Amino acid sequence: MLLPITITLAVLLAAVVIVCVWLLADRRALRTERSRLTAERDDAAAQVDTLTQARSDQDRDLAVQKQKLDDLEKSQADLQKTLDQAKQQFKDTFDALAGKALKESRDDFLQQAKRVFETEQFKAGKQLDANRQAVESLVKPVKESLEQYQKRLHDAEQQRVEAYGSLRRQASDLSQQHKTLRDETANLVRALRRPEVRGRWGELQMARLFELAGMTERVDYDEQATIDSADGPSIRPDYTIRLPNQRTIVVDVKTNFDAYLDATEATDEPTQQQHLDRHAKQVRATADNLATKAYWLKCKGSPEFVVMFVPGESILYAAVHRDPDLIERAMEKNVIIATPTLVIALLKTVAMGWQEKALAENAQRIADAGGELYARLGTAFEHLARLQKSLEKTVDHFNSMVGSLETSVVPQARRFKELGVDAPKPVPDQLTGIDRRPREARLSDDDRQAMDLSPAPPNPPQSKITVDPTDPASESTHA
């Protein structure tokens, strides 16, 4: 029943630590985001000022263009007035001339007046269109600039509203998360005040370190193994780490930090300092008590110290901050106070020692196998030397047989052919001896001495068989 509760509390503790780390990281991210939004808000305000100044400049330009438009309209009105005056003048002229030559030139005059009127009207209309296009070309950029300014101003205002809304929501979420973290931290502190929970937490921390170092229980280390001592009662340390050459290191987990938890809950500085002083004294007393057990005297192959594992960097730092000589005095009593960082380095070093020992053993096996192979090569070369001598004797016998056949048998056999004896296969004209010898295995004198081989005999002279030159059928053969 106690084990599930312990596991649940350990999982809860790990979750709370993860949540704390995540909230701190999220809080830093919110601060960064708030700084970025503030910078964007300042940039937007600067852009609004710039756009306002631009709009003022554009208003001035628009007033100038409007003045030009008024001037153009005035010019158009004057032109229209001039046209009307021309019409009236032509009419007066026509009326004056009508009395003199109404019948003779009425049609020509009217036609000429019509052409003049159409010409003047076309010029006035063309000038009016040109003036309208000029006004539109001047007003169009101002209109487009005003539309862009309105759009950018609307977008900046919308971004500002969204940024402030997001910042407000994030601030609310941060406040809620901070409240949750405070509640979870309080629950964690209450759980760690129970000695059995603290002890189980320390064991889980140590088990995790063994796992990270790649070590296996009952192979690389033993947990709470009973060690018999000839000088006194048996001992049962928390962990016994096995080293090469039958050596061990004793590790004892200590989780006595009630005063440290009180310091974390203190609301004022003097009370917190008092609890931290008491925490430093508790750690010192724990180290002194561990030194009195003298595990290194009772555990065979152990170096003259014992490792006191404190499962938290901040726990040891708080004690050392109040008592700077804490670690040094503990070492004087053969107690090494270690945090997870130091323990994982120790375990990694032990694992490397085992690897080095395995490599040394493999190297020794390779050396033994090489020596055995070298000895067997000596025996093989002895057999090879005897085989070489046997092949040389066989070649000598073969060459002697060839010489005897060429000098004694072949000449007599050829006479059968002179006497008219038919044979399905004639006697060959020449028999060739063997003039090759087995290749000698070339070894140095040192190799021969190492393999217990006798020095190589000099190569025997090649046998030479000479045939009588007076015999036309005889030939000399070299072996």
Q: How far apart are CA 436 and CA 441, in angstroms?
A: 15
Rounded to a whole number of angstroms, the CA Rg of the chain reads 58
Which of 333, 478, 323 has the alpha carbon at shortest distance from 406? Answer: 478
**Whole-number pLDDT of residue 265:** 82
Q: Which residues contact residue 473 at a Cβ distance below 8 angstroms, ignoring those fewer than 6 apart?
A: 410, 411, 414, 429
**Max Cα–Cα distance, the chain, nearest Å:** 176
Letter for the amino acid at 257? F
DSSP 118-155: HHHHHHHHHHHHHHHHHHHHHHHHHHHHHHHHHHHHHH
The SS3 assignment for 300 reads coil
**Whole-number pLDDT of residue 451:** 57
**Whole-number pLDDT of residue 429:** 66
Q: How far apart are CA 275 and CA 279, in angstroms?
A: 6
Q: Which residues contact residue 172 at a Cβ distance below 8 angstroms, ignoring those fewer than 6 apart?
A: none
What is the sign, positive or negative, of the torsion defined by CA atoms of 60, 66, 70, 75? positive
On whether the CB atoms of residues 239 and 223 are closer than 8 A, the answer is yes
Burial of 39: CB neighbours in 10 Å, binned 0-12, 13-18, 19+: exposed
On whether the CB atoms of residues 296 and 306 are closer than 8 A, the answer is yes
Residues in the chain: 479
Q: How far apart are CA 145 and CA 60, in angstroms?
A: 13
Q: Cα angle vertex 474, ends 469, 479, to 5°? A: 100
Contacts of 64-68 spanning 24+ positions with Cβ under 8 A: 65/135, 65/138, 65/139, 65/142, 68/135, 68/138
Q: Cα angle vertex 294, ends 292, 297, to 5°? A: 155
Q: How far apart are CA 24 and CA 174, in angstroms?
A: 10
Please report, for residues 95, 301, 348, the alpha-carbon distance to residue 92 in angstroms, rounded to integers and kept in the order given.
5, 141, 122
Per-residue pLDDT of the chain (479 residues), as tens digits, is 566 677 776 766 677 677 677 777 777 777 787 787 788 777 777 777 777 787 777 778 777 777 877 777 787 777 778 777 777 776 777 666 656 655 656 666 667 767 776 777 777 777 767 766 776 676 677 677 777 877 887 888 888 787 777 777 777 777 777 667 666 666 556 656 677 878 888 889 999 999 999 898 888 999 988 887 666 677 889 999 999 888 999 999 998 888 888 888 888 899 999 999 999 999 999 999 999 998 888 888 899 999 999 998 989 999 999 999 999 999 999 999 999 999 999 999 999 988 898 898 898 899 888 888 888 888 888 888 888 888 888 888 888 888 888 787 777 777 777 777 776 677 676 667 677 767 766 666 666 665 555 555 554 444 433 334 334 333 333 33
Question: Both tokens of residue 261?
Answer: 């938890």
Residue appearing with tokens 């009207």 = 121
Which of 15, 20, 25, 37 has the alpha carbon at shortest distance from 169? Answer: 37
Query: Span 1-192: which CATH code?
Result: 1.10.287
The SS3 assignment for 58 reads helix
Domain spans of the chain? 1-192, 193-338, 367-478
Q: Cα angle vertex 144, ends 142, 150, to 5°? A: 100
On whether the CB atoms of residues 237 and 229 are closer than 8 A, the answer is no
